[in-house]
Amino acid sequence: MAAVRKSERLMNLLIMLLVQRHFVPKQRIRSILYPGSTDEAFEKMFERDKEELRSLGVPIEVGHMDAYFDDEPGYRIQPEQLGLPAIELEADEAAVIGLATRVWQHARLAEATTDAVRKLTAAGVEVDVSALDIVEPRLSADEPSFEVFWEATQERCAVEFDYRTASSTEVTTRHLQPWGVARHAGRWYVVGLDTDRGEERVFRLSRVQGQARRTGPAAAYDVPPGTDLQALTRRLAPTPAPEQAVLLVRRGAGHLLRRGAESIETDVVGPDDATTWDRVVLTRSALGLADEVLGHGSAVVVEEPTSLRAEVVSRLRTTLEARAGEAS
């Protein structure tokens, strides 16, 4: 769980420096985020955490509380420097954002990441929580069992689930010690030890029938040292063959799609008259391409193949139904 505590601490440091309008004194950071640490331990952790955030592109400023006195240095993050302009993501980049969204939306971790805000408020410090809008991911992993497997990997708890393979309509109950969740070819997979067969296996989350169920106590097993989830997923999961796709793309949008296109037909009839449309033909993995299409929102529409169109429509419908459920 050390990795979880570290990620929570980094998120808390990011939030703490982001929501305050002035420089935050070093000792206040220590008292809230590093309580009980020795001087040496605090200095090491704080320096390491600052450098890790900076390596991720977070602009941490150093300054003094009073411009006329050489007092204790303080730290802050200005929201306008951290915010990003509108961007278009590659499929694998969108997958990372999707995973980050699930981490953010997960109830217990979301509570932990706002711990700094609660403590600052309790201390009477004025905070600007609207600054948090720029660090909340907007994409989601839409597999119903995602959170069950994600929690189980963090707590090392066994999972039981009903599963249907691609080559069979039969549903069987599987038992797994999950090592991690990974994205491959536009799909989410869970990797772990299949305890019924005594072998490492990978399962595609979209083929899980109903909800997965955690079984047994936490810390019930150890992940083998040196486990490479991405390498295991690539080796064990089938890679879909690329196929040709025909997309309608709004003029001025879909630059990455256009870059890899085999042909582009301009000024074609599109689904609306708000802008002009182009027909883009390219060859990609259908699963990865679905992520790219969804990442462009209403600027890209699938014409062919019907399987890709159905995949995009299904995921959009799932998202709408989930939001309708939350609203009610």
Give the pair of three-digit tokens for residue 72.
């204790």
Asked whether the beta carbons of 279 and 244 are under 8 A apart, the reply is: no
Tell me the average pLDDT across 43-68. Answer: 76
256 Cβ contact list (under 8 Å, min separation 6):
88, 90, 292
Q: Are residues 75 and 27 in the same domain?
A: yes
Q: What value does the mean pLDDT of the chain take? A: 76
Is pLDDT of 263 > 90?
A: yes
- pLDDT-derived band at 226 (thresholds 50, 70, 90) equals confident
Q: For the chain, where are the alpha helices, taking DSSP H only? A: 2-19, 26-33, 39-55, 79-82, 91-105, 107-113, 115-122, 146-155, 229-236, 255-259, 286-295, 306-327
In a domain, 141, yes or no: no
Residue type, 287: L
Domain end, chosen from 175, 205, 236, is at 236
Q: Is residue 46 part of a domain?
A: yes
Q: Is residue 140 included in any domain, yes or no? A: no
Q: Which is nearest to 281 in space by CA: 314, 257, 298? A: 257
Of the listed ranges 53-57, 124-128, 308-312, the least confidently predicted one is: 124-128
Token pair for 14: 């990011």
- Interacting residues of 281 by C-beta distance below 8 A, sequence separation 6+: 244, 245, 246, 247, 261, 262, 263, 264, 265
- Reply yes or no on whether the pLDDT at 127 is more than 90: no
Q: Which of 195, 110, 215 is nearest to 152 (CA)?
A: 215
Determine the structural domain holding residue 259 and report its residue range: 242-327
Per-residue confidence at 121, pLDDT binned at 50, 70, 90?
low
pLDDT in tens, 273-313: 888 999 999 987 655 677 778 778 888 999 998 888 887 88
**CB count in 10 Å sphere of residue 310:** 12
Query: Given pLDDT bands bounded at 50, 70 and 90, which one contains residue 134?
Result: very low
Angstrom distance (rounded) from CA 295 to CA 317? 15
Same domain, 7 and 130: yes
Pick the closest to residue 205 from 167, 288, 149 (CA basis).
Answer: 149
| DSSP secondary structure letter of residue 266 | E
pTM of the prediction? 0.42
Instruction: Looking at the structure, tell me whether residues 223 and 274 fall in a common domain.
Output: no
- Rg of the chain over Cα atoms, rounded to whole angstroms, equals 23
CATH code, domain carrying 186: 2.30.30
Say yes or no: 116 and 192 in one domain: no
The pair of structure tokens assigned to 52 is 């890790």
Residue 116 lies in a domain: yes
Domain count, the chain: 3
